[in-house]
Chains A and B, each alone.
Chain A
Amino acid sequence: MVKKVLQSILMPLIAIFISMIVGGIVILITAKQNPIYAYLALFSGAYGNLMNFATTLTNAIPLIITGLGVAIAFSSGLFNIGAEGQFWIGAIVATYLGYQVKGLPWFLHIPLIIICAMIAGALWGGVVPGLAKVYTGAHEVITTMMMSYIAIYFSHYLLEGGPMMDKGTIPQSPVIQNSAKLSTLVPNTQLSSGLFIAILAVVIVYILMYKTTLGYELRAVGFNVKAAKYAGINVAQKLVLAMGLSGAFAGLAGAVQIMGVQYRLYDSFTSGYGYTAIVVALLANNNPIGVVIAALFLAGLSTGAQEMQMQTNISGQLADVVVGLIIFFIAIEELYRIVIEKIKNRKTKLQPVGGQK
């Protein structure tokens, strides 16, 4: 048990450490600047004061919620790499209901939006890729990715002269009603009470995955499909359900982003949260608490990268380089095993000859 916990915490930490060093070397060569100074700028830009931390938290909210969704799919052995599209679909539904439905008090309007966005995300991410997988064996990596592109083009269609475009020439939707807006937590920042929705989502997913029969069954399917089938679990149904839940959370994240931060939909309203959420789930090893930590880390990386860019002129895209390296160094876990084994072998070789039994 201790070993397992160590492994799931230590591995990402080692990966992060190596990646920061490689990133530092890139800075040294290309920008000829002190990487430590750059990383300090990044760190203070992410967590240094209340304003920066609030921005990091704001960016972490969609990552936490979407990351939870991706983690549910991962735990069931499914790769939902189309969370980005499900995020868009949630945002589209939230925006439409947000400006179209008038006269509702906030305590009805917001739940209405949340429920509809989750259902839309579930249908988009779950029903199509899930059913396709179960009935035709179409791999979810491709179907979710394709659905993602369809969602993105669909949103562009809606906004660029389409039915959701606001008056004027800018491709953007009207602003949502006040009754659909989440309250702001820290003045002069974009941090909204969406934070509480994210925390609630973490608790719900934790209970769902670890305290209910359904969660156990979902994880059993992810652990070993054949064994799960043998144990009488309806695997097909669970796979569709896992994809559906996954999409529902991505849809929720899109809705929270609209209600709490953007208030309207426009072409580039997501900065790839759906893709980063995959990294979040990977770093977190699918653990809901880990999702929060990983999301805070990755959100900090992107918030801090902007600060770093301003202070040191080092382009913020370096954050992506580091993220890519982190996943790479996590993926090749076999290497650590080999290295540890080599070290162990060396130790045994050094033992005195008389020590042999």
Chain B
Amino acid sequence: MLLVVTYSQGARTTLRNVCRTHESAVVRRLGRAALFAETELGAFLALRLRAKHGDDVQIERTRPFNEFDTVPESVREAAAAYEDRETASTPYAKFAAGTDHPDPETMRDADL
């Protein structure tokens, strides 16, 4: 999908109008951003916005996130275990210390 984020009032207004007139090409509207379908029409609409508003329009390509495909099991398990913790106020670094769960620093430096 194409993620379009706007950074000015004018671009925001144009995005709103584009979304209204091309509902079928819009997967989701999120305030001043929108997800367009990955079609030529989606790309056309995104590029039209950029042609009109220049740097006030950011376009990113996104794809569905499959954690079982891309995320190591240790990270998935750490997330589940942390959400299941007994004390709500425990920060993750402290929670992970002395366990098999990865520490935040290691995860920060490891690309998916």
Q: Do A and B come from one complex?
A: no
Interface residues of A (CB under 8 A from B): none
